[in-house]
């Protein structure tokens, strides 16, 4: 579900949220928005899929959708949140993409080799553990760690109540601690 | 190290890996996005023009089609009866819209179902589908059963694991069990599973796969004692290829019946149980006994650049129905198992039709 567009007069609400985008999106060209957001969104898609090729496809689709609807999306408070929500939801539905990719191969289309980023075993293990979480927990954990998002931001991106985000983050931390044999966090206030 | 410190270190590394990359740089991608948007706008203008032209010639086309006799490749008396279920793949949403048609290509019906997979139940009165429409971040993929006309969807929710998906599958000949591909983001429990067809419960694994490998497209043998499925493996060439396996329905006697790299997804088991037809990558229909012996290609002269995929059998075993793909488009065809009598079933142009399944029941 798309976020509601907010009249410019209501934009003062943003001032209290320093983590969020301050640029007036209505006046920002799509190209600038894309250049600013692309790498971060690609990292989010990779964290949630574990496959750079799939992540690139998802990001391409999400930005194309934003581009097609830019007249409308540019008027939202946070176009970046819209793209992240689309990417987060598409990233946890990679089953259909996998099947679609296999189907493309049989139609004799040549495909270039996928590139796997050079990441340490420790980092790969961490994101593998995140992907093994239930979907909502995985989305919350990816946004929390990768983008250093606050609870309020994550709630806005995923269209959840802040209390729900806190619960998912708490459960995700517990599960990650067990899986990776890590220490407990003493301060979970963020 | 606590979990947040580890998470931030892992995040830093990913951010560095995805910052300012050249190969998939923003400049190239933004150009691609502009091109794609312009292409779509042009297509919309074309469509508007085409609609106007189509209205103008509709009467002529209807008259011509009413008068034109169909020209089958084989004599009419040899054309078998029944109904073909098949999907039209939508690349944008990575799912198919499902249709039925008579074996002679007439009576095409849109069932109104959008799903990754669909397959007749024995008897042809009902269809097993993947219930993609019900998938949300908090609700995993499950099977459902619909009537032959696409109505009255009955979700099969008997398996409760919230992190586990049940995808494409097949129903046993006695109608009691469904075999499905199971997978999760965990990856550790990807495999082939059997559930009850009454409610989708009673989940039990019959074959498992290492994480990161594709395992799927399970089918029952006609006597219900075995299951055949496809599995891929990293490093196998050509890309995306794998092998066909068989396993007893109790999980015993797992066997690989084709070489690694010798098969591609989707296969069909002949009604007499003697043969499995599959696609040798890319686009070559091949037959093999379920014990892996006597593998041989079906000699079939296809246009350059085209490929045959998703083969399946007619209920009498006299025909193989499949999807013939060329230049991103595909229609449904059938042939004799000896490669003769190639016959086109569906004729809609500009579509990508796939995964045909044949029932004797008339639509």
- Crossing angle for the helix pair A121-131 and A30-49, nearest 10 degrees? 90
Which chain A positions have a beta carbon within 8 Å of B302's beta carbon? none
The verdict on A90 and A137 lying in the same domain is no
The verdict on B36 and B184 lying in the same domain is no
Which residues contact residue A154 at a Cβ distance below 8 angstroms, ignoring those fewer than 6 apart?
A140, A143, A144, A160, A165, A169
Burial of B80 (0-12, 13-18, 19+ CB in 10 A): middle
The verdict on A54 and A111 lying in the same domain is yes
Q: Which of residues 48-77 of B touch A (CB under 8 A)?
A: none
Q: Which of residues 147-186 of A touch B (CB under 8 A)?
A: 147-148, 173, 176-177, 180, 182-186
Which chain A positions have a beta carbon within 8 Å of B305's beta carbon? 108
* Cα Rg of chain B (Å, integer): 23
Residue B205 lies in a domain: yes
> Would you state the pLDDT for residue A12?
25
> What's the structural domain count of chain A?
2
Q: What's the domain range around A124?
A: 119-190
A95·B20 Cβ contact <8 A: no
Question: CB contacts < 8 Å between A and B, how many?
Answer: 178
Q: What's the domain range around B275?
A: 81-359
Which chain B positions have a beta carbon within 8 Å of A106's beta carbon? 240, 264-265, 279, 281-283, 307, 309, 325
Residue A60 lies in a domain: yes
Residue of A nearest to B8 (CA): A145
> What's the structural domain count of chain B?
2
Residue B73 lies in a domain: no
> Would you state the pLDDT for residue B300?
84
Residue A135 lies in a domain: yes
> Would you state the pLDDT for residue A116?
52
The verdict on A186 and A145 lying in the same domain is yes
Give the position of tokens 């790498």.
A39
Which chain B positions have a beta carbon within 8 Å of A42's beta carbon? 18, 24
Residue A44 lies in a domain: yes
Buried b (16+ CB within 10 A) or exposed e, B184-215: bbbbebbbbbbbebeebeebeebbebeeeebb
Residue B329 lies in a domain: yes
CA distance B203 to B182: 10
Structure tokens at B286: 């091949």
The verdict on A27 and A102 lying in the same domain is yes
Chosen for mutation from B1, B3, B39, B303 (greatest number of chain A CBs closer than 10 Å) is: B3
The verdict on B194 and B102 lying in the same domain is yes
pLDDT means per 10 residues in chain A (190 residues)?
27 29 58 88 87 78 83 79 85 55 44 55 88 83 89 89 93 91 68
Reduced to 3 states, what is the DSSP secondary structure of residue B360?
Answer: coil
DSSP, res B277: E
Per-position DSSP letters for A97-125, written without gaps between them: HHHHHHHHHHTT---PPP------HHHHH
Q: CATH number of the domain at A143, please.
A: 1.10.10.10
Q: CATH number of the domain at A69, please.
A: 1.10.1740
> Would you state the pLDDT for residue B235?
75
> Would you state the pLDDT for residue B70?
38
The verdict on B39 and B129 lying in the same domain is no
Residue A11 lies in a domain: no
Q: From residue A80, give the alpha-carbon distance in Å to each of A39, A154, A156, B112.
A: 12, 12, 11, 35
Other CB atoms within 10 Å distance of the CB of residue B27 = 10
B89·A103 Cβ contact <8 A: yes
Q: Between A56, A93, A115, which is nearest B135 by CB?
A: A93
B185·A131 Cβ contact <8 A: yes
Among candidate residues B68, B101, B122, the one where a domain is terminated: B68
The verdict on B236 and B143 lying in the same domain is yes
Within chain B, which residues score under 70 in pLDDT? 20-33, 35-79, 92, 185-186, 211-212, 239
pLDDT tens digit sequence for B148-165: 999 999 999 999 987 788
Q: pTM for the complete prediction?
A: 0.61
The verdict on B195 and B341 lying in the same domain is yes
> Would you state the pLDDT for residue A52?
77
The verdict on B107 and B194 lying in the same domain is yes
């Amino acid at each position: 579900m798309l976020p509601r567009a907010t009249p410019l007069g209501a934009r003062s609400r943003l001032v209290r949220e320093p983590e969020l985008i301050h640029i007036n999106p209505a006046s920002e060209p799509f190209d600038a928005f894309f250049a600013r957001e692309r790498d971060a969104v690609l990292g989010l898609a990779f964290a949630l899929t574990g496959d750079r090729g799939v992540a690139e496809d998802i990001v391409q689709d999400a930005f194309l959708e934003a581009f097609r609807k830019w007249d409308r999306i540019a008027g939202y408070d946070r176009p970046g949140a819209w793209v992240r929500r689309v990417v987060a939801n598409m990233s946890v539905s990679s089953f259909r993409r996998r099947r679609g990719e296999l189907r493309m191969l049989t139609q004799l289309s040549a495909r270039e080799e996928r590139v796997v980023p050079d990441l340490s075993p420790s980092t790969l293990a961490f994101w593998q553990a995140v992907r093994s979480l239930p979907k909502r927990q995985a989305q919350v954990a990816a946004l929390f760690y990768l983008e250093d998002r606050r609870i309020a931001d994550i709630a806005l991106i995923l269209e959840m109540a802040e209390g729900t985000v806190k619960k998912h983050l708490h459960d995700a931390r517990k599960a990650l601690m067990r899986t990776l044999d890590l220490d407990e966090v003493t301060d979970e206030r963020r | 190290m606590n979990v947040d410190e580890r998470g931030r270190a892992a995040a830093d590394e990913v951010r560095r890996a995805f910052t300012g990359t050249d190969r998939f740089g923003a400049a190239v991608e933004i150009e691609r996005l502009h091109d794609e948007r312009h292409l779509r706008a042009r297509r919309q203008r074309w469509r508007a023009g085409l609609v106007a032209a189509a209205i103008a010639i509709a009467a002529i086309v209807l008259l011509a089609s009413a008068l034109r006799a169909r020209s089958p490749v084989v004599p009419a008396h040899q054309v078998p009866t029944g109904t073909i279920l098949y999907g039209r793949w939508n690349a944008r949403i990575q799912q198919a819209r499902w249709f039925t048609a008579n074996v002679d290509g007439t009576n095409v019906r849109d069932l109104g179902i959008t799903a990754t997979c669909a397959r007749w139940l024995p008897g042809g009165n009902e269809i097993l589908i993947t219930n993609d429409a019900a998938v949300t971040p908090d609700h995993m993929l499950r099977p459902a059963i619909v009537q032959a006309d696409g109505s009255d969807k009955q979700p099969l929710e008997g398996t409760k694991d919230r992190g586990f998906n049940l995808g494409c599958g097949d129903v046993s000949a006695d109608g009691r069990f469904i075999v499905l591909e199971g997978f999760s983001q965990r990856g550790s429990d990807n495999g082939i599973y059997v559930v009850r067809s009454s409610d989708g419960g009673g989940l039990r694994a019959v074959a498992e796969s290492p994480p990161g490998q594709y395992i799927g497209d399970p089918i029952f043998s006609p006597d219900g004692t075995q299951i055949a499925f496809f599995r891929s493996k990293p490093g196998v060439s050509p890309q995306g290829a794998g092998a066909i396996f068989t396993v007893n329905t109790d999980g015993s006697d797992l066997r690989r019946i084709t070489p690694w790299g010798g098969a591609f997804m989707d296969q069909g088991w002949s009604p007499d149980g003697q043969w499995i037809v599959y696609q040798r990558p890319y686009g070559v229909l091949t037959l093999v006994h379920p014990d892996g012996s006597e593998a041989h290609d079906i000699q079939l002269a296809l246009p350059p650049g085209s490929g045959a995929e998703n083969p399946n059998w007619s209920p009498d075993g006299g025909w193989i129905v499949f999807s013939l793909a060329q230049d991103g488009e595909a229609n449904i065809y059938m042939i004799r198992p000896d490669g003769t009598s190639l016959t086109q079933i569906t004729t809609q142009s500009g579509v990508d039709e796939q995964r045909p399944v044949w029932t004797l029941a008339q639509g």
